[in-house]
Amino acid sequence: MPESTLNSITCPEPNGAHRMAFRAWGDAAAPHAVVCVHGLSRQGRDFDVLAQALVARAGGALRVVCPDVVGRGRSDWLKDPMGYQIPTYAADMLALLAQLHRNAPVTTLDWVGTSMGGLIGLAICGTPQLPLPVPVRRLVLNDVGPAIQWQALARIGTYLGQAGHFGSVQKAADAMWAISTSFGPHTPEQWLALSQAMVRPLAEGGYALHYDPAIAVPFRTLTEASAAQGEAALWQLYDNVTARTLLTRGAQSDLLSRATAQAMTQRGPRARLVEFEGVGHAPTLVNADQVDVVASFLLETCGPDP
Q: Give CA–CA dist 55/89, Å, rounded.
A: 26
Check whether 216 has a pLDDT greater than 90: yes
Q: Give CA–CA dist 112/139, Å, rounded.
A: 6
Residue 28: CB atoms within 10 Å = 14
- The whole-number pLDDT of residue 301 equals 56
Q: How confident is the model at residue 196 (pLDDT cuts 50, 70, 90)?
A: very high
206: helix, coil or strand? coil
Check whether 253 has a pLDDT greater than 80: yes
Instruction: Say if CB 63 and CB 35 are below 8 A apart.
Output: no
Check whether 306 has a pLDDT greater than 80: no
Residue 251: CB atoms within 10 Å = 14
Say what the pTM is.
0.95
Structurally, at CATH architecture level, domain 4-149+230-299 sits in 3-Layer(aba) Sandwich (3.40)
Instruction: Say if CB 111 and CB 35 are below 8 A apart.
Output: yes
Check whether 10 has a pLDDT greater than 50: yes
Q: Using CA atoms in the order 224, 229, 234, 237, what is the torsion angle rounded to 10 degrees?
A: -170
Beta pairing class for 244-250 and 272-276: parallel
Q: Give CA–CA dist 68/231, Å, rounded.
A: 26
How does pLDDT run across 48-94, given as a tens digit for each residue? 999 999 999 999 899 999 999 999 999 999 999 999 999 999 999 99
CA distances from 204 to 166, 172, 208 (A): 11, 16, 11
Of 46, 38, 298, whose CA–CA distance to 190 is shortest? 46
